[in-house]
Chain A
């Protein structure tokens, strides 16, 4: 049969972390091949493994998938984390895309010039608490455990991941959102995610300033 999916990326969160989350939430074991230097990326490029010369790349079911969204869509579809019909899928897509915008903002903070960093972060956190979190707090008013269709989907995984990333920068980010607080507790306790949140899992730590130069060296 097929082997485990193999993830190709540096040993950091970046654009691969949401893939790690989704596979983990689906209970799928995966292997990782870490890019450590420029030559590692160049090798993948020259052997034709990367459709657009870029990572993330995930080897799964005989395919070499690139483009984060394509990878996530495939995993979500394969492991039934994408709703039961086109309308649930549309809701999930809207929620996930909104969260991706917020996640991207937070992720980009670390590469802002020093004099812009603080303002950029303040803007990102403001968006989290005033644009994005209120939407999901309101959705959870439906009283179900999960965002869409009363069933775990990639939207729940994405929301938990985003909440934790925001809390790393602002520990009290959920202070005004009781439903998100109980959502966070509940989803964190589902077995696969609980395991992923424990030390020793394949979850990656936040990016440290000292690691940025070696990461940049791979891509530039």
Chain B
């Protein structure tokens, strides 16, 4: 039947990592193509594979999908991780968008100058502990359920899990004031698909390093 989805990006987290998380959480195996030169990116643009000449690109079900949110929404919808109706969908969207604002700080962090790094970590810590994590701590406390929305595993849970781990890499004690989130993290880590994704050898990519930054600058020619 259908082939596996195929992801085209660089060999690093960037804007593709949330997609890897979601596919993995849904138990979907996928293939990856890693670009190493700018010429490869330009060629993809020229042959019409990239609608807006940008990555990520995910080939799935006969489509060449670009734009992270379009890709994530499609995967969530297809694998029943998007709630049962419009209202649950709205909750999931709100949670995912909020978390995505926090993840944007993490995404940009490797590209900040060395002298700004300490301040940026402080900003990430502040936003996580004062704006975003309290919201989800409260949601989980209020309904007492395992999952954020509709008593059922959804895209929102996957995104929150990814964000918790990403922030912890920068601020190891960030969950110290959030007992519900600590329990959530443990439960998510033990879900079979996520457990597998968290093991060595999975498609999960390591934290960005200098090599990653250099590759991004070279291939995407950031302004």
Q: State the A residues within 8 Å of B (CB).
A: 51-53, 61, 63, 65-70, 73-74, 77-78, 86-87, 89-90, 93-94, 97-98, 101, 123, 131-132, 135
**B131 adjacent to A52 (CB under 8 Å):** yes
Q: Would you call A65 and B94 a contact (CB within 8 A)?
A: yes
User: Is the beta-carbon distance between B101 and A52 smaller than 8 angstroms?
Assistant: yes
A93 vs B72: C-alpha distance when bound (angstroms): 10
- Indicate if B89 sits at the interface (CB-CB under 8 A): yes
Q: Contact check, A131 vs B94: say whether CB atoms are below 8 A apart.
A: no
Beyond the given A69-B93, A70-B93, A77-B89, please list 19 additional residue pairs across the A-B interface where CB-CB is below 8 A: A51-B94, A51-B98, A52-B101, A52-B132, A53-B131, A67-B94, A68-B97, A69-B97, A70-B90, A70-B97, A74-B86, A74-B89, A87-B61, A90-B70, A93-B67, A97-B69, A131-B52, A135-B51, A135-B52
On whether the beta carbons of B93 and A132 are closer than 8 Å, the reply is: no
Whole-angstrom distance from the CB of A196 to the nearest CB of chain B? 24
Which of these binds chain A: B19-27, B73-81, B175-183, B199-207? B73-81
Number of interface residues of B (CB under 8 A): 28
Q: Which residue of B lies closest to A120 (CB)?
A: B223
Which residues of chain A are within 8 angstroms of B97 by Cβ–Cβ distance? 67-70
Given the interface pairs A51-B135, A87-B63, A131-B52, the reply to whether A93 lies near B70 with Cβ below 8 Å is yes
A98 to B90, CA, bound (A): 21
Tell me, yes or no, whether B87 is within 8 Å of chain A by CB.
yes
18 inter-chain pairs at a CB distance below 8 angstroms, sorted by A residue, are A51-B135, A53-B131, A63-B87, A70-B90, A70-B97, A87-B63, A89-B77, A90-B63, A90-B65, A90-B70, A93-B70, A93-B74, A94-B51, A94-B65, A94-B70, A97-B69, A135-B51, A135-B52
CA distance A53 to B102 in the complex (A): 13
Majority SS at the chain B contact face: helix
A108–B3 CA distance with the chains assembled, in angstroms: 41
A73 contact from B67, B89, B98, B101, Cβ within 8 A:
B89
Q: For A123, what are the chain B residues with a Cβ–Cβ distance below 8 Å?
A: 223
6 closest cross-chain pairs (CB), A and B: A93-B70, A70-B93, A67-B97, A97-B67, A70-B94, A94-B70
Q: Complex formed: what's the CA distance from A93 to B68 in Å? A: 10
B34 to chain A, nearest CB (A): 23
User: Complex: how many Å from CA A2 to CA B160?
Assistant: 32
Find chain A residues with CB under 8 A from B93 CB.
67, 69-70, 73-74
Q: How far is the CA of A78 from the CA of B86 in the complex (A)?
A: 7
Cβ of B70 and Cβ of A97 under 8 Å apart?
A: yes
B6 within 8 A of A: no
Could you say which residues of chain B place their CB within 8 Å of the CB of A61?
A: 87
Query: Which chain B residues numbered 45 to 72 have a C-beta less than 8 Å away from chain A?
Result: 51-53, 61, 63, 65-70
Interface centre among B52, B68, B74, B135 (most CB of A within 10 A): B52
Closest residue of chain B to A72 (Cβ to Cβ) is B93
